[in-house]
Each structure stands twice: as structure tokens, then as C-alpha cells.
Amino acid sequence: MAGKELIQYGELLHKLKEKIKTAQQKAILAVNNELLTVYWEIGNAIAEQEQQAGWGGKIVDKLAADLKAEFSEMKGLSPRNLRYMRDFALAYPAFLQQTAANSQSIENDTTTILQQAAAKLPWGHHQVLLTKLKTIEERTFYIRKALENGWSRSILEHQIEGGLYKTQGALVNNFSSTMPAYQGELTTQVFKDPYIFDFVMLGEQAKERDLEDALMTHVTKVLLELGAGFAFYE
């Protein structure tokens, strides 16, 4: 190839690599969102039954056992995790709401943005948030920080235990009108989340490459859902 052709080829290769990386990111985030949606729906059903029918711990244990019998490879269906799902649904009651329909108040807009941001975090992060934090203000702060800085679960836990909110929380009153940029490092954390492996039924021995292959199988579908102007060729 001549010099100019090499430059043009290099530019083309770079663009194609970026398109594939973007498609992979969108695919893994779509899987994570589906996982959180299912968890929310399970948790919401449990919360409603506890309130309306007086469900106790034994019923949750039975539900976990019955679900586990049907989906044997999903470790996420333990009684403990089902209770996390209930707490998740109670913490984000409008999680399934994608936009604030006819919202007239800043509070509603802020709530919507918060819950859209929460949808980008891996389930392991939510377990930490639900276990260690009790107020929506604290969760809002740490969700934002985790997204901005691409924190892993262990770093998130460390920052909470270190009391970062006490020193910086007053500086952030609420989410801005746009959500924080999603960091590549946090995408990696989602990619490695064991609950994702279980959810797509890859089993205990699944490797990162297996997950990547499974996700790439669905990239075309994801791109089609994004609308005109997107395509993927193997």
C-alpha cells in the first residue's frame, strides 16, 4: 500500500474498532439493564406480597427454592439475594420508568435521572449500596461518584466506609439534567459481574471470552433497536 492508502486504511480500521467496542458496550449494558429489571420485578412482587398477603421469610425461602429448581445455574436466586431484590425495588420504586412523563417538578426529574443512573451499575454495586446506606441522598452521591470514576465494587465499599459523603456530599445537591459519563472501567466491572454470567446461563466455568461471544450474538439485535444509522457486519 502507498503511504496515503496506509493512512486511510489505518483511519478506517480505527473507526471500525471503535464501532465494535461501542456495540459491545451497548450490548453488555443492555444485558445488565435486563438483569436489574428482572431483579426489580421479582423484588417488587415480593414486597407487594409481604404487604398485602403477609408473606414471611419461609415463603421467600420456598420461592427461592422453586425458582432455583427451574433455573439451576442462576446463583442469583438465593433467599438472601431475593431479599436484596425486594430492598432494591423498595429503594427505586420507579426503576422501570425511563422518562418522567409530564414531570412538572425538579424532584421527579431528579428521581428519574437517579434511577436511570442506577440502571448502569452492576448488581454487586447495588448490594453494597443497599447494605451500607440508608438514605437516598447518600445513594445518589455514591451512584454518581461510581459512574464518574468507574469505581469497582471494592472501591465503592472502601469510599463508603471511608466516609466520602461526609466530606464531599454537601458539594453535590442532586443530579444535573444529564447523567454522568459512563466510564470504560465500569463497563469492565459490569462485564465481569458473576450475576451476568449466571443470567445468560453460561455456567460457573464461563470465561470472559464466552460472555463476549454470547453478547456479540445479540449485537445486531441491539443495534436494530437503536434505530437507523447503526449496522454490524461479521
Q: Rounded to whole angstroms, how far apart are CA atoms 215 and 16?
A: 18
In contact, 92 and 135? CB cutoff 8 Å:
no
* Residue recorded with cell 461526609: 166
- Ordered by start, the domain boundaries in the chain are 16-97+106-226
Lowest mean pLDDT among 60-74, 158-172, 188-202: 188-202
Q: Which is nearest to 216 in space by CA: 199, 193, 200, 198?
A: 200
In sequence order, what DSSP letters do the residues of 72-97 get, joined into one string? TT-GGGSHHHHHHHHHHHHH-TTTT-
Give 11-47 pLDDT, tens digit per residue.
Answer: 888 899 999 888 888 888 888 989 999 999 999 999 9
The reported pTM is: 0.72
Mean pLDDT of 227-234: 50
Q: Tell me the three cell numbers of residue 51.
A: 404487604
pLDDT tens digit sequence for 55-100:
887 899 999 999 999 998 888 999 999 999 999 999 998 888 753 4
CB–CB of 204/212 below 8 Å? no
